[in-house]
Structure 1
Amino acid sequence: MSNSPDPDRSVETDTTADDTRPLTRSPPAVAVVDAQSPGNVGTIARAMKNFGFEDLLLIDPPDLDPDGEAYGFAGHARDDVLPNATELTFDELVSEYHTIGCTAVTNEDDRSHVRFPFSTPAELAIRLPTVEAKTALVFGRERIGLTNEELARIDEICSIPANAEYPVLNLGQAATITLYELRSLTLSPEETQLPDVDRVRAPEPTLERLYDQWEALLAELNHPEEKRAKTMRMVRRVFGRADLTTREANTFLGLLRRATERPDEQAETSADDS
């Protein structure tokens, strides 16, 4: 592990209104306070790798043996995120970073500001891109998380919405969910593995042929004529919301054509083929 934070790692460079001073925004670092399990540290490092985060900060970490549990759980993060982690004290963390403490237990009102107010990870994903500050997401121990004394020294609070009867998540789970929600700070859509970000809707002539075939099927089924217009409006709205691709529309079109064929015509075709 390295011994000092890297404040200069950034993902975006912009300029101010007068274009005289470069503006850099770095994605948040991930800080883990007093983790007891090396496996949880490895799990968090792996989640960081999954969602594009690089800077891992460790306060009072367990022994991270390269042949042990942490590296075994880290996946490909064993090559960079985990060995490049920075060890520092809690005092250094709160003095050098804008800190966001992650906790499952929050106050219900504003009578105490130790755990209130708080943001959800999704709300942070909207706000943090506009903030120019060296930021760290702070996760606490497996059993008790962050103490009230530690939370009192942290700048803001984040909490994952969960079942009120059991809101406490495993340390690795909490970090993974939070980093997933904040992935827009580190990854553009083009950098994820998901293809077809923009759906390509089937052209209108193809969809109109599909609707014509639906009308033919309704007639073939002797659907009450006075109900056909209303049924077709429903069909159009269902398929309209679905944004069918060309392949999907053609598949449905073929199925409807087969379904519209008269049973006696199918029987005649089978007899001719035999």
Structure 2
Amino acid sequence: MTGGDPADRDGDGTVDGTADADHDDREFVVVVVEPETPGNVGTIARAMKNFGLTDLKLVDPPEIDRDSEAYGFAGHAREDVLPNADTVTLDEVVERYHTVGTTAITGEDARRHVRFPFKTPAELRESLSTVDTDTALVFGREGTGLNNEELAQLDELVSIPANPDYPVMNLGQAATVTLYELRSLVLDEYQLPDVEHERAAESEIERFYDQFGAFLSEAESRDHKRERSERLIRRLVGRAHPTSKEVTTLTGVFRRATGLMEHADHSDRARDDESRAR
């Protein structure tokens, strides 16, 4: 198996931009040490495709052919990430890259320095975002992960916060979570559209406050209660940053409610006047 250009995320021979123009030449590669099942290799390849990575390296992998589970699980990554994967040694990776090992079992303090200190994937993202270095994310075996000797060769560790009663994740799941957290380091856009939240004009919001005040005048006779309610609604709306449509809708609702209450009040008065006339 041979490696492709790590910046060619589409597998089309072109080089895409990254999230940070200052780090255009930075490489991120994924290394899997002695994976036991081809299916997990395919799952990792698919996660790489999802989150913008293309360079997969395998240490002592099982036989992977196009009829194996690896290709079945890889999705569109079967077109580029998986067939272009390199077979390497861990020593080669350590020599070339800044290495980040993944582990579920961590040391509790500095006395157990092989597995401590460690970062969460989110903390690792923040750390790497300020450093221009080629980085390898190293994942271990499905059953035992990376051993202490291997971890001792690596530069830093990352661990996914999980249930302390069962912190060990499936290899494919661990890779997917980690790559998701690091996506902003290699992707500058996503399939989700950029949605700008446009706050309603202050004049519209003030009209809502006026209408709410009119509603309270009908619903609440006690002055201190009305003042408190008006203050609370102002704080609530102020934190919510409503859109023009939202404010207009709320204003209309309270206007109709106020009108109904005024109509009911007038009807009650008419009935009282009629009773007194009798």
Q: What TM-score do you get using the length of structure 1 for normalisation?
A: 0.85
SS of residue paired to 1:236: helix
Any idea what the Cα deviations from partners look like across 1:189-237, whole Å, max 9, x if unmatched? xx11222443211111111122222222222222532122221221122
Unaligned segments of structure 1, at least 5 residues? 15-22, 269-274
Any idea what the Cα deviations from partners look like across 1:87-134, whole Å, max 9, x if unmatched? 111221222211100111110010122111111111111111222322
User: Partner of 2:256 in structure 1?
Assistant: 258
1:252 partner amino acid: L
Provide the C-alpha distance between the structure 1 equivalents of 2:168 and 2:95, rounded to a whole number of angstroms: 28
1:239 partner amino acid: V
SS of residue paired to 1:261: helix
1:255–1:264 CA distance, 2 compared to 1 (3 A): closer
How does 1:1-274 map onto structure 2 within 5 Å?
1-2=1-2, 11=18, 14=22, 24-188=24-188, 191-222=189-220, 224-262=222-260, 265=263
Residues 51 and 187 of structure 1 are in contact (CA less than 8 Å); yes or no, is this contact kept in structure 2? yes
1:103–1:220 CA distance, 2 compared to 1 (3 A): same
SS of residue paired to 1:56: strand
Provide the C-alpha distance between the structure 1 equivalents of 2:129 and 2:143, rounded to a whole number of angstroms: 32
Q: How many residues align?
A: 256
Q: What TM-score do you get using the length of structure 2 for normalisation?
A: 0.83
1:226 partner amino acid: H
RMSD of equivalent CA atoms? 2.3
1:259–1:124 CA distance, 2 compared to 1 (3 A): same
Residues 218 and 262 of structure 2 are in contact (CA less than 8 Å); yes or no, is this contact kept in structure 1? no
Any idea what the Cα deviations from partners look like across 1:20-42, whole Å, max 9, x if unmatched? xxx75424211111111222111
Deviation at 1:75, TM superposition (A): 1.7
> Quick check: 171-180 or 64-73, which moved more?
64-73
Deviation at 1:7, TM superposition (A): 7.2
SS of residue paired to 1:262: helix
1:203 partner amino acid: A
Greater C-alpha Rg: 2
Provide the C-alpha distance between the structure 1 equivalents of 2:250 and 2:6, rounded to a whole number of angstroms: 56
1:147–1:111 CA distance, 2 compared to 1 (3 A): same
1:53–1:8 CA distance, 2 compared to 1 (3 A): closer
Provide the C-alpha distance between the structure 2 equivalents of 1:53 and 1:241, rounded to a whole number of angstroms: 38
Provide the C-alpha distance between the structure 1 equivalents of 2:167 and 2:4, rounded to a whole number of angstroms: 32
Residues 27 and 185 of structure 1 are in contact (CA less than 8 Å); yes or no, is this contact kept in structure 2? no
Identity of aligned residues (%): 58
SS of residue paired to 1:167: coil
Any idea what the Cα deviations from partners look like across 1:227-254, whole Å, max 9, x if unmatched? 2222122112212222212222222222
User: Partner of 1:17 in structure 2?
Assistant: none
SS of residue paired to 2:129: helix
User: Partner of 2:11 in structure 1?
Assistant: none
Residues 218 and 261 of structure 2 are in contact (CA less than 8 Å); yes or no, is this contact kept in structure 1? no
Unaligned segments of structure 2, at least 5 residues? 9-16, 267-278
Residues 6 and 53 of structure 2 are in contact (CA less than 8 Å); yes or no, is this contact kept in structure 1? no
1:234–1:264 CA distance, 2 compared to 1 (3 A): closer
